Amino acid sequence: MDKDITLIPAIEGKWKAMPMTSKQDAKDKNSSAWKQLDTTSFWKIERVISKEHVKTKKGKDSVFNKPANYYMIELVSNQKDTIFYKFHMTLFHVNKALYADLMPVDNSGLGKSLLANESYFPVHTLARVVIRNNQFSLSWLGADYMKEMIEKKRVRVSYKWVESAKRLMLTGSSDQLTGMIERYADELRFIDWNNQKAMLKLNRTK
């Protein structure tokens, strides 16, 4: 997947999240998966920049900034930017479509955030990304879609069943995941990105 990683400066900034209604949500108004922090918090997105210490030829210590190829997302309050939860986001293209690989940094928002709750185990989650002007949307691939494709042997990815969570956990390589996306992500009969349980629309605030 490394060769497909992309950086989009326009995605940096502060955003307000709004839940998007799936077909299931439209039928059952009480079925929304989102919790308090997911939609009441602001999303602060910045490219990760690490500092490296090196010595010059003259033996003096020097510090330089090294930009990473992924972003830090923080769910923060509007007033004092108190951080409730944070995770890394890596953007990548497959078949001209944009996706986000999200990985939790901590689980401080557990119980108040779907993202934190779903990331209780240190695993990656996959979302499709659509960017339009000062707005972008995220649609997370649901576990039920993955379960069906694995059971029907449409995809060959490494996984394990976690009984306590009652869900599949993908443990395979990024190449396995990319292969699955290349083959099935654009096929509506396999993955309907507009009908996932977890979908958010983000509007820029600054």
- Judged on CB neighbours under 10 Å (0-12, 13-18, 19+), 62 is exposed
Please give the Cα distance from 136 to 24 (Å, whole number).
22
pLDDT value of position 45 = 94
pTM comes to 0.76
Which helix (H) or strand (E) is 6 found in, with range?
A: strand 5-6
Q: Which of 179, 177, 185 is nearest to 159 (CA)?
A: 177
pLDDT value of position 147 = 74
pLDDT value of position 5 = 92
Helical H segments across the chain, by residue range: 23-27, 36-40, 114-118, 143-151, 174-184
pLDDT value of position 137 = 92
Please give the Cα distance from 169 to 158 (Å, whole number).
9
- Judged on CB neighbours under 10 Å (0-12, 13-18, 19+), 201 is middle
Mean pLDDT for back-to-back runs of 10 residues, the chain (206 residues): 85 87 56 57 89 74 84 82 82 91 68 52 75 88 75 68 60 70 81 86 87
What angle (nearest 5°) sits at the alpha carbon of residue 20, between those of residues 203 and 18? 35
- CB burial string 79-110: b at 16+ within 10 A, e below: eeeebbbbbbbbbbebeeebbbbbebeebebe
- Judged on CB neighbours under 10 Å (0-12, 13-18, 19+), 54 is exposed
pLDDT value of position 118 = 53
Record the tokens describing residue 24, joined without a space.
């299931």
